[in-house]
Chain A
Amino acid sequence: MRAAVITFPGSNCDRDMAVAIEKISGTAPIRVWHGDAELPDSLDFIALPGGFSYGDYLRSGAMAANSPIMRSVVAAAGRGVPVLGVCNGFQVLTEAGLLPGALMRNAGQTFICRTVPLKVENAESLFTRSYDTGSTIRIPVAHHDGNYFADAETLDRIEGEGRVAFRYGETCNGSQRDIAGVLNEAGNVLGMMPHPERAIEDAQGGTDGRAMFESIFANLAVA
């Protein structure tokens, strides 16, 4: 299993993501710097971590979406490589056009940092197949710009296509239809605001994030 974690200037969950990948898959991921133009060859999985990127100038994720490495990530996603973007990683994926919609300032204007209930809306995807559809899991969020917006037509389309992976189980950040995680059309790109890598062992206060990594890696084992 060859995984890569991209680090942008300002990423601060890249190490947590790398630890989660290593603990659950048994193999340490390759750490890739934003200025690298090329990804390592034959990757099985790419993770874009949370934190910030390039000061989040202009809009959160807007600068990172145009960084050299993102051209390679977009190309890899197009070839079907699984890509997970968490928090700032989700913002980068929307800005890069890999996922629909945009992430705006939280409706309450405040930074939200707490563990929230998440409803698993689609447990068929390669990221979520170790969960049960309709089950509720508990995963931490920590963000200022997590308010998911897309026009009604886009929302209807992604809901109809089963591309809403997770929904907040309580009022959180003002997201349209409480959407917390979105899949791309092909199902190999997932962006989500909550942090599954922060819920992989009891010491972190919960383990509900493990199943996401188990889903991804189990899928790779059979591929």
Chain B
Amino acid sequence: MKVRIHVSLKPGVLDPQGRAVHHALDGLGFAGVEDVRIGRLIELEVADTTSDEALAEMCEKLLANTVIENYRIEKVAA
């Protein structure tokens, strides 16, 4: 089973990298970009028997730092 973990900064947490990319998009002349937030995508290949609880625990313990980040687990159809 393929699982995608989407890790993003929590709302309200400053994202200087996103801000710099926003400036760069402005510089390229793309109008109307209101905000840029940069996150991380982690793809896992796991046994089909892997429980939702185990996936959540992986995120809580290592893949995301829940002080600053949110995560979303997406199971990808084979």
Contact = CB atoms under 8 A, between A and B. Distances in A.
B46 interface: no
A105 B16 contact: yes
Contacts, number: 36
Contacts of B63: 58
B17 A105 contact: yes
A174 B62 CA distance: 25
A106 B16 contact: yes
Interface string B56-74: 0000011101011000000
A109 B19 CA distance: 10
Interface in A96-120: 100-102, 104-109
Interface string A131-174: 00000000000000001011100000000000000000000001
Given A58-B62, A59-B65, A149 B16 contact: no
A99 B68 CA distance: 14
B13 A149 contact: yes
Interface in A55-114: 58-59, 62, 66, 94-95, 100-102, 104-109
B26 to A, nearest CB: 16
A112 B76 CA distance: 41
B58 to A, nearest CB: 12
Contacts of A100: 67
A151 B65 CA distance: 13
A174 B16 contact: yes
B44 interface: no
Contacts of A94: 67
Contacts of A59: 65
Interface in B1-60: 13-14, 16-17, 20
Residue among B13, B14, B61 having the largest count of chain A Cβ atoms under 10 Å: B14
Interface of B: 13-14, 16-17, 20, 61-63, 65, 67-68
Interface of A: 58-59, 62, 66, 94-95, 100-102, 104-109, 147, 149-151, 174
Given A149-B13, A149-B14, 11 more contacts: A58-B63, A59-B65, A66-B61, A94-B67, A100-B67, A104-B13, A105-B16, A106-B16, A107-B16, A109-B16, A150-B67
